[in-house]
Amino acid sequence: MPTSVNSAEGDSLRLYLLGGFHTLFGSHETPMDAWKLRRARSLVKLLALAPRHRMHRERIIEALWPGQDLENPDNSLHQAIYAARHALGGSGAPVARFLQVRDGIVTLAADDLSVWVDVEAFELAAASARRTHQPEAYRTALDLYHGPLLPEDAYEDWVSGRAETLRRLYVDLLVELAGAYEGDGLYGEAIVELLRAVDTDGTREDAHVGLMRLHALTGQRGDAVRRYEILRRVLRDELGAEPQDASARLYEGIVSNRFPPPGAPVRLESPTGDGERAMGSARVRNAPRAPNRFIGRARELDEIGHLLAGARIVTIVGPGGSGKTRLALEVAAMLVPCYPAGAWLVELAEVERSPALPQALAAALEVIEQPNQPLLGTIMAALAARRPMLVALDNCEHLIAACAELVESLIHACPNVTLLCTSREPLHIAGEVVWRLSSLGLPQTDHTSDLEAALTCDSVQLFLDRARALAPTLTLDERTIKAMARICSHLDGLPLAIELAAARVGTVGLDEIASRLESGLSALGRGSRTAPTRQQTLEATLDWSYTSLSERERRLFRCLTVFPIPFDLEAAEWVSMEGADFSADDGDAQDTLDTLAALVDKSLVTIDESAGATRYRLLEPLRQYAEQRLKECGERQMALRKRDDWGLAITERANGVLWGPAHAAAVASL
């Protein structure tokens, strides 16, 4: 990391390595004839590129005299250090401030001397541009790249790799800036940046393809065709390769007048007409506008946004009613400016069978089916030709295998597509980053005396916001705040359950809602009539998950409801039932572990590691739902008996251990 140049002008050392080497100490530039030894100059360059501008003497000797058996390597190094010091100190500065040696480590400058290196400044500016996605930030970074790294030393081992990395970064920034311009409709400026990219790296296929697309979109079909011919020739001559299939398909579409589609507008200037650059409307395509305010989830928004900066598949996983869809839409809206082709929503909840997936995808992404062409292939070709885009694939769980296959195909065929999926279980494919969505924050206790703190909890904030939509005059006092805290705590912060409970406000008092919730979920109201059927009641939402379970998973899910507090694997094994007689020998430990793991994977059981050991729990609304299913199946009394047998076994085991570490463990288990 370079030190900021905040000191007096005479106390700063500036080194320029991009496009050629020269140094400044204050306002004094070191003349080339001051470098009496070539290796003295190389030593300064080497330290300028090193982390913290320091290297061990042995690594320096190996880099500057590779493969040479020097009679006195230390003497050769000290000669280079001496010459470099006097070259840098030619302005009259004390030479001891440069190239200090201590414990075999050579440091470029003393601690009180600030050092600025253009390579580091370029890399930092590039990282900033990629964080902000603002054209101005990209231009600031690009202006720092004055040419290849140390062209006079291009074939040195310690230069060539770093030079190639920096050149690639420079081209990446040009392509990304072109994408930002294209997203703003500034096609002419995007073309200029892509031309700079292919001038720097003629084999950069995505830059050539971008030029093809932009030429076609601006009515310059001949230039688009010629660009493909240039691409094909360069790839053959330089790499012995052919353009990718997606590039060839775009070329064929341009030649046959299928791209751009008939009637597509030809844009030749900024859509505002005055050069103003707005980075997007921050709205997800195909997504209805939310009817109410988004509450909480600040940490989730930030961290999922960061994950999408480095991963192409992020899946938000959580139980039904946890707010996965709403969170995904908020994340996508937040990131719209980062994707030139926008953010798009593909809703899969109403897609009942796997073969209908391509139709749903094509309809949502506005891809027109071509006669006698496989629809999925048409989708892949269309998306491959688009600029970077974010696709939110919502509700994958009921078609999980087909969705996993579809996402994997999109990732491989469409390098500009990033996917944000929601599901009740992960896709389990290579490259997927899983974000498990927890409940909303809860008050510290049901009867907190810190009323102000309770009101700042996300769960209470959500309840209050939705309740006031129905009862605008709802007053806030100690009684109502405590009642809201009880409601949210009993519902374990599950957003849909909280919204449904709030729907009762205006017809039922808060205290009564809180009391009724202790006896079951029937106290929850019905949601919006226009919401999907599965989201109108919590029971319908949980039915959606329950019916997709195997019989073994359903049975264990029901039995676990006898534990209102966290339990361990052994407890789950005791209450696991495999037959009508529920004999103690039914099932084995491995079956229970596998089934329990499946319930965790499907977001019906939560892992609790707060006690330092792995324990499990059911969110209270899920536990009450499963308890009702347990009663309907006539299994509740037997499950309770098995739980009591487990408790008795734990007690007897602890009673038999009186001394030593095993005794402490036994007491802890009690």
pLDDT higher at 82 or 509: 82
Regarding beta strands 606-608 and 615-617, do their DSSP bridges make them parallel or antiparallel, or are they unpaired? antiparallel
pLDDT for 348:
94
Summarised one tens digit per residue, pLDDT across range 646-670 is 888 888 877 777 666 677 777 777 7
Summarised one tens digit per residue, pLDDT across range 632-651 is 999 899 999 999 988 888 88
Asked if the model's pLDDT at residue 450 lies above 70, the reply is no
pLDDT for 60:
95
The candidate with the shortest Cα–Cα distance to 341, out of 548, 200, 179, 127, is 179
Per-residue pLDDT, averaged over 410-415, amounts to 92
pLDDT higher at 534 or 96: 96
CA dist list (Å): 553 to 255, 560, 598, 599: 56, 11, 8, 7
Locate 450 and state its tokens.
């810190």
- Whether the CB-CB separation of 179 and 173 falls below 8 Å is answered with no
Asked if the model's pLDDT at residue 428 lies above 60, the reply is yes
Per-residue pLDDT, averaged over 258-287, amounts to 49
pLDDT for 279:
30
pLDDT for 503:
87
Locate 598 and state its tokens.
């499946």
Provide the pLDDT confidence category of residue 275 given band limits of 50, 70 and 90.
very low
pLDDT for 120:
94
Per-residue pLDDT, averaged over 348-374, amounts to 90
- Whether the CB-CB separation of 669 and 661 falls below 8 Å is answered with no
Asked if the model's pLDDT at residue 67 lies above 80, the reply is yes
Three-class DSSP category at 199: helix
- Window from 95-104, 257-266, 334-343, 457-466 with minimum mean pLDDT: 257-266
Provide the pLDDT confidence category of residue 585 given band limits of 50, 70 and 90.
very low
pLDDT for 536:
56
The vertex-477 CA angle with 476 and 479, nearest 5°, equals: 115
- Window from 7-11, 191-195, 240-244, 568-572 with minimum mean pLDDT: 7-11
Per-residue pLDDT, averaged over 248-262, amounts to 82
Asked if the model's pLDDT at residue 201 lies above 70, the reply is yes
pLDDT for 469:
84
Q: Which of 111-115, 494-498, 588-592 has the highest mean pLDDT?
A: 494-498
pLDDT for 1:
37
pLDDT for 386:
86
Per-residue pLDDT, averaged over 49-64, amounts to 94
pLDDT for 6:
36
pLDDT for 616:
92
- Window from 271-280, 320-329, 628-637 with minimum mean pLDDT: 271-280
Per-residue pLDDT, averaged over 11-27, amounts to 90
Summarised one tens digit per residue, pLDDT across range 431-442 is 999 999 988 988
DSSP secondary structure string for all residues of 208-265: HHHHHHHHHHTT-HHHHHHHHHHHHHHHHHHHS----HHHHHHHHHHHTT-SSPTTPP
pLDDT for 346:
95
Distance between CA atoms of residues 39 and 83, nearest Å: 9
pLDDT mean across residues, the chain: 84
Locate 337 and state its tokens.
């400016």
Asked if the model's pLDDT at residue 580 lies above 50, the reply is no
Residue 161 burial (CB count, 10 A):
11
pTM above 0.85, yes or no: no
- Window from 300-309, 448-457, 461-470, 637-646 with minimum mean pLDDT: 448-457
Cα-only R_g, the chain = 33
The vertex-400 CA angle with 399 and 402, nearest 5°, equals: 70
Asked if the model's pLDDT at residue 523 lies above 70, the reply is no
